[in-house]
Amino acid sequence: MKRRYVTADVFTDAMFGGNPVAVVLDAEGLSTAQMQSLAMEFNYSETTFVLPPQNAAHTAGVRIFTPRTEVPFAGHPNIGTAFLLARERRSRGESVDKPFVFEEAAGAVRITLLIQDGDIVGAELRAPESLTRRSVVTRESAASCLSLEPDDIAMAVHPPQVVSVGLPFLVVELRSRETLRCAKPNLQAYEALLPLDGADAVFAYVREAGPSHRTNETVIHARMFSPLDGIVEDPATGSAAAAVIALLTTLDQHPAADRGWRIHQGVDMGRPSLLLGRSTPDAEGQVGVDIGGRCVAVLEGVVELVGR
């Protein structure tokens, strides 16, 4: 049976920027092994598979695979899948006015479409889990993973730590934009330290000094390396960006009621991406995080699994 797929570049408004995702629109009946094989064939950082929902009130079931394994949640695959699925449904004359809800291993993921002049231009999701803070690692270990010196690791706000709002990452703040530009993964150091508490990737970032030209907004520059998963560098990582936003908001002694974030990623690898975030603390100290951005449709086609 032939299966339709479409691809999009996510967190960008220009083709060949952002982070590509492949979406298999009619995945019902595919085995886990077949899904993994297709993800390896596409060789994007993630490929998604759209299935009928178990709850009829939800939009779809979605499974997400890297080239190596299935993951419970990820940012750009959800954004891209919602964008492409909405375009597909609108082309059939179906309404896309309501928010989408995807059933995933991490739970129900609520996604709001971004509409501009009547066109679907992107999407925004709410992180499915509250922030969890896990193991702390030494600055020496973190620096070694990034081929940097220990003094390149900023420690004033938080040490290198595994955090998650649905998918764990080791997050590391660096001292300067130039340090971030010089970072590169050291496979031997990765293998010595990771996986740790579910994290096998490092999200390194630096915050811009001084206030943003937009009120109450923080600008971050980031890179994400995951060589253990076959991904040397990821152009845009919504799940990691959301975790960092939740962490920094939690650590802020006087968090704003509604704070904006602009995360620039992929610049140093030639696929510039822009992730737009919002953080909203509640009365109990929990932080809700929304992350989103624009998308561009790129490819479509069919694949036939013969004798598989």
pLDDT of residue 194: 98
Confidence band of 226 (pLDDT split at 50, 70, 90): very high
pLDDT of residue 92: 93
List, in sequence order, every residue forming a beta bridge with 183; answer none if it has no partner: none
66 plus 159 within the same structural domain? no
Question: What is the identity of the amino acid at 148?
Answer: L
Report the 10 Å Cβ neighbour count for 162. Answer: 22
List, in sequence order, every residue forming a beta bridge with 101; answer none if it has no partner: 110
- Is residue 25's pLDDT more than 60? yes
Angle (CA) 184-186-189 rounded to 5° is 140
143 plus 119 within the same structural domain? no
65 plus 141 within the same structural domain? no
* Mean pLDDT value of segment 124-144: 96
Residues 6+ apart with CB under 8 A from 65: 35, 36, 38, 39, 46, 47, 48, 49, 71
What is the 3-class SS of the chain, one letter each residue? CEEEEEEEEECCCCCCCCEEEEEECCCCCCCHHHHHHHHHHHCCCCEEEEECCCCCCCCEEEEEECCCCEECCCHHHHHHHHHHHHHHHHHCCCCCCCCEEEEECCEEEEEEEEEECCEEEEEEEECCCCCEEEEECCHHHHHHHCCCCHHHECCCCCCCEEEECCCCEEEEEECCHHHHHHCCCCHHHHHHHCCECCECCEEEEEECCCCCCCCCEEEEEEEEEEHHHCEEEECCCHHHHHHHHHHHHHHCCCCCCCEEEEEEECHHHCCCEEEEEEEEECCCCCEEEEEEEEEEEEEEEEEECCCC
Q: How many domains does the chain have?
A: 2
182 plus 211 within the same structural domain? yes
CATH number of the domain enclosing 171: 3.10.310.10
193 plus 233 within the same structural domain? yes
188 plus 225 within the same structural domain? yes
Residue 152 and residue 175 in contact, taking contact as beta carbons nearer than 8 Å? yes
* Mean pLDDT value of segment 201-224: 86
Q: Among 28, 41, 46, 124, which one carries the catalytic annotation?
A: 46
Confidence band of 307 (pLDDT split at 50, 70, 90): low
Report the 10 Å Cβ neighbour count for 251. Answer: 11
In the predicted model, what is the mean pLDDT of the chain? 94
Confidence band of 159 (pLDDT split at 50, 70, 90): very high
34 plus 166 within the same structural domain? no
154 plus 105 within the same structural domain? no
Side-chain half-sphere CA neighbours of 156 within 13 A: 7
Give the largest Cα separation in the chain, rounded. Answer: 59
Tell me the residue range of the domain where 94 lies: 2-126+294-304
pLDDT of residue 65: 97
pLDDT of residue 214: 62
22 plus 156 within the same structural domain? no
**Known active-site residue 140:** no
260 plus 298 within the same structural domain? no
pLDDT of residue 209: 77
Report the phi/psi class of residue 138: left, alpha or beta, with left for phi > 0 and alpha for psi in -120 to 50. Answer: beta
144 plus 238 within the same structural domain? yes
Q: How far apart are CA 102 and CA 114, in angstroms?
A: 16
Q: Between 253 and 96, name the one with better pLDDT.
A: 96
88 plus 181 within the same structural domain? no
